[in-house]
Amino acid sequence: MANPTAAICVIGDEILSGRTKDKNIGWLAEQLTEIGIQLVEARIIADVKDTIIRHISDLSASNDYVFTSGGIGPTHDDITTVSVAEAFGVAVERNEEAMRRLEQHYMGTEIVLNEVRKKMADIPVGASLIDNPVSAAPGFCLNNVYVMAGVPSIMQSMFECLAPSLQGGTAPTRLTVQCETGEGNVAHILQQISEKYNAISVGSYPWFKPGQFGTAVVLTGLDKNTVKSAADELWKLVKKAGYKAETPV
């Protein structure tokens, strides 16, 4: 059976301007792969309500899971919550449990839980909260959309809280064959293996170091034995063609 699919949607003008470099897609991609959820697409979009609504609707309809990061803070440009609510036609209301968490978090600090900060307790009706161990203000899950903060440390802590609730699949097996030759010399072997084992993805990644170059061939699939057979066969063919290669690892 195929693994469940996911899309990531990073929301933030600061990423599109190049001022801030996204770190969330790469981290989430690794996490999802490990628990057997196949990331099929990632998008980075602007802080514009209609844009967010359009992409969330599109990605939610075509994937099992959607994970968003960014735009759930207290300022005027934090419009992810209202936009996701509108994408599903539900209202946003002040959530009692979220308020309780904010009150507890700010209690005994210099920070005043003013009207602007209370906005972080506004959650779409029917959504469940995602814990935020770093700064209390929760994310939420509405239908198949998981809305998280943009700051990487907060997003990561949120994802670790919600991960046990996800229905993952089979973690893929991945084997690498390091070939001491250019990919143009082994491409015909890669194609042959790719055609023979059509449930296996065969990736080819050339690398260069001063005075050296080679190709890392990465075989990935859900069935361990098939990946092992394909990698062994590929390794033998590369050797037979006269090139050095390390045994699959």
Residue numbers of the site for a second copy (CB under 8 A)?
13-22, 25-33, 39-46, 73-77, 111-112, 114, 116-117, 151, 172, 174, 182-185, 187-188, 190-191, 194, 201-206, 218, 220
- CB-based contact 144:101 (threshold 8 Å): no
Of 20 and 167, which CB lies nearer to a second copy in the complex structure? 20
Radius of gyration of the chain, Cα coordinates, nearest whole angstrom: 23
Degrees (nearest 5) of the Cα angle 54, 42, 57?
Answer: 20
| Nearest distance in Å: CB 114, a second copy | 6
Q: What CA–CA distance (Å, rounded) separates 143 from 165?
A: 13
Of 128 and 220, which CB lies nearer to a second copy in the complex structure? 220
| Nearest distance in Å: CB 204, a second copy | 4
Of 112 and 249, which CB lies nearer to a second copy in the complex structure? 112
Of 22 and 86, which CB lies nearer to a second copy in the complex structure? 22
Of 31 and 178, which CB lies nearer to a second copy in the complex structure? 31
User: Which residues, including other chains, have CB under 8 Å from residue 13's CB and lie 6 or more apart?
Assistant: 46, 47, 77
SS3 category, 32 = helix
3-state helix/strand/coil string of 135-200: CCCCEEEECCEEEECCCHHHHHHHHHHHHHHCCCCCCCEEEEEEECCCHHHHHHHHHHHHHHCCCC
| Nearest distance in Å: CB 47, a second copy | 8
Q: What CA–CA distance (Å, rounded) separates 205 from 218?
A: 8
| Nearest distance in Å: CB 126, a second copy | 26
| Nearest distance in Å: CB 88, a second copy | 22
Of 125 and 187, which CB lies nearer to a second copy in the complex structure? 187
| Nearest distance in Å: CB 25, a second copy | 7
